[in-house]
Amino acid sequence: MPQTALLLLLLTASVQCAPGGALLRKPTVLKGRIVNGVEAEPGEFPYQLSLQKNAEHWCGAVILNEDWALTAAQCVEDSDDMYEVLAGTNTLSTGGTRHTVTFISSHEGYDASDSWVNDIAVLKVSPAFPIDGVTVAPIQLPEKDEEVPDNANVTAIGWGKHWYFGQIQDGLRKVDIHIWQQWLCESVWHDINYNVHPTQICAIRFKNNKHYDACTGDEGGPLLYEGKVVGLVSWGHFCGEPPYPSVYTRVSSYLDWITEKTSGSRV
């Protein structure tokens, strides 16, 4: 895999546009849906949002409070585009409420050329989310610098593709995966010259010749552990193709940043 010729072949074969419009220089983007997951129950994830561009699903996001949502910076790179979010439904085609994104704050250190480090953004919406605690509710954040145990069971959710070249799905899906040891994730990705930063967390599940993972269209959506959003879908290799785990933004590393950006008055 580390051989130069093979790496160049993989890179050439996999170039495509990211949600933000940047040309990806790697075989490692998660454009799509949950792989080998199952349908979510109605109301099971009341904080889940569909971030949409031109009235079509683009990325995932979660509700922080009645005015703010959390997503990945790569999902809102095109500042000239109009974004909105769909809340309170598992089905893209029916139900829910729509909210215009009126203000975007992406992390100042976001760098797509360095393994999508600091891939996090907050969105101000209007009108406010109709929080009822049943179909629409805020996500629970982790504690600052909270660590998720190695091999812990976690859940990814989204409307993304069920395989790399598939289509966006109408119904919300979920998949149970496992946290990878940080050193092992770093080692695997280092073999093809990608960094995994301390502010990133890795997860996937390989079982019975299948892989379970997030995919394209799930970017910005949550990785959940004990009801808390511990990660945001960021990047991976062909939606979980072995041996590469997918990489998520580690939310516990950004709690002060989230508080700073969502405090005070905004447009």
Q: Which of 33-37, 59-63, 83-87, 193-197 has the lowest mean pLDDT?
A: 33-37
In contact, 27 and 7? CB cutoff 8 Å:
no
Is residue 42 left, alpha or beta, with left meaning phi > 0 and alpha meaning psi from -120 to 50?
A: beta
pLDDT over 80 (residue 267): no
The DSSP line for 102-154 is EEEEE-TT-BTTTTTBT--EEEEEESPP---SSSS-PPBPPPTTPPPPTT-EE
- At residue 9 the predicted structure's pLDDT band, cuts being 50, 70 and 90, is very low
- Measured CA to CA, the distance from residue 200 to residue 235 in angstroms comes to 10
Q: pLDDT at position 161, please?
A: 55
Query: With pLDDT > 70 as the criterion, what percentage of the chain qualifies?
Result: 77
**For 164-189, what is each residue's pLDDT tens digit?**
445 566 789 988 899 999 999 999 99
DSSP one-letter code for 244? P
Range from 55-59, 120-124, 157-161 carrying the lowest mean pLDDT: 157-161
Q: Are strands 83-87 and 48-53 parallel, antiparallel or unpaired?
A: antiparallel
Distance CA 50, CA 87 (A): 7
% of the chain surpassing 90 pLDDT = 65
pLDDT of residue 20: 36
The pTM for the full model equals 0.84
Q: Look at residues 49, 3, 10 and name the one whose alpha carbon lies nearest to residue 241.
A: 10
- Contacts of 181-187 with CB under 8 Å at 24 or more apart are 181/150, 181/151, 182/150, 185/245, 185/247
Which residue reads 């990489």 in tokens?
A: 247
pLDDT in tens, 26-60: 334 433 334 456 788 999 999 999 999 988 999 99
**Mean pLDDT, all residues of the chain:** 83
Choice between 240 and 202, residue whose per-residue pLDDT is larger: 202
Model confidence at 215, pLDDT cuts 50, 70, 90, reads confident
Residues 141, 251 contacting (CB under 8 angstroms): yes
Q: Distance (Å, rounded) from C-alpha 39 to C-alpha 59?
A: 18
Q: CB of 112 within 8 A of CB of 18?
A: yes
Tokens for 33?
């849906």
Mean pLDDT, residues 237-266: 87
Q: Are 106 and 71 in contact (CB under 8 A)?
A: no
Q: Domains plus CATH for the chain? A: 4-39+140-252 (2.40.10.10), 48-138+254-261 (2.40.10.10)
Backbone torsions φ then ψ of 106, nearest 5 degrees: -95, 150
Handedness of CA 57, 59, 65, 67 (dihedral sign): negative
Give the three-class secondary structure for 201.
strand
Residue 241: what pLDDT?
Answer: 67
Tell me the per-residue pLDDT of 14-24, one tens digit each, with 9 for 90 and over.
323 334 333 22
